[in-house]
Amino acid sequence: MFKIRFTITYDGTAYFGWQKQPHQISIQETIENALSKIFNQKISICGAGRTDRGVHAKGQVAMASIPYEVTTTSLQKSLNSLLASDIRILDLEYADDDFHPRYSAKGKIYSYSICTKSLQDPFTRFTTYHHPYPLDINLIKQAIPVFIGTKDFTSFANYVGKNNTAPSSIKTIYEIDLKKTDSGFILTFHGDGFLYKMVRNIAGALISFGERRLTINELKAILQKKDNKHKLLQAPAHGLCLELVLYERSLSLI
């Protein structure tokens, strides 16, 4: 068997997330079906992260084992010819035996896009959260340092699975950048990893702070409480995009 690594971009609008699940269309299963057709046998893939329903990616990374050696350019072309136009294989190469898209990763970069205009460009409606309410962007910038560093992010995670727990709630956020756009702003998150829905929850908290619904002290108290039972705004899935999976450590990629 030969191990291949590929980088994928996709518009997640039409899919029920990355992970395959019964009776629903997913990114993972769609790519697996294309690979299985090419090699005339069942091929499974695993990804660097499980993006939710409606979440997008510009740099998702996945891995598969194929039964025989082929040229990477021909396999990339064959895959893209079988996939719908909302999924594309950007890059494909043979991987080392010890490579794993998830466990070899040193960090990830996500972006969250927000439109604050009263009218949203219809061409961005599936990739940008429309929030046409007064927001103080300079105030949001003041709240960003609350989340920087190595912390227990239990309060900003949703857990699924046995006992509603995750392996570790301690994560490091290196940077959160805010950049203004013509229609609003984009938040970019660079961390060593993120808990389930953590980016969306932090984005929602920053939006609430920008609306003056929270104070700095309240935000810090929520983080320190390590309890996700609060009712903070969770930013919708379609504004989120997995920009990049990092396999080398860097503290300044935003």
- Catalytic annotation present for 52: yes
* Catalytic pick among 11, 52, 97, 227: 52
DSSP states along 2-41: EEEEEEEEE-GGGSS-SS-BTTB--HHHHHHHHHHHHHTS
Residues 6+ apart with CB under 8 A from 63: 3, 4, 5, 6, 45, 46, 47, 95, 99, 100, 101
Q: Are strands 240-246 and 107-115 parallel, antiparallel or unpaired?
A: antiparallel
Q: Which residues are catalytic?
A: 52
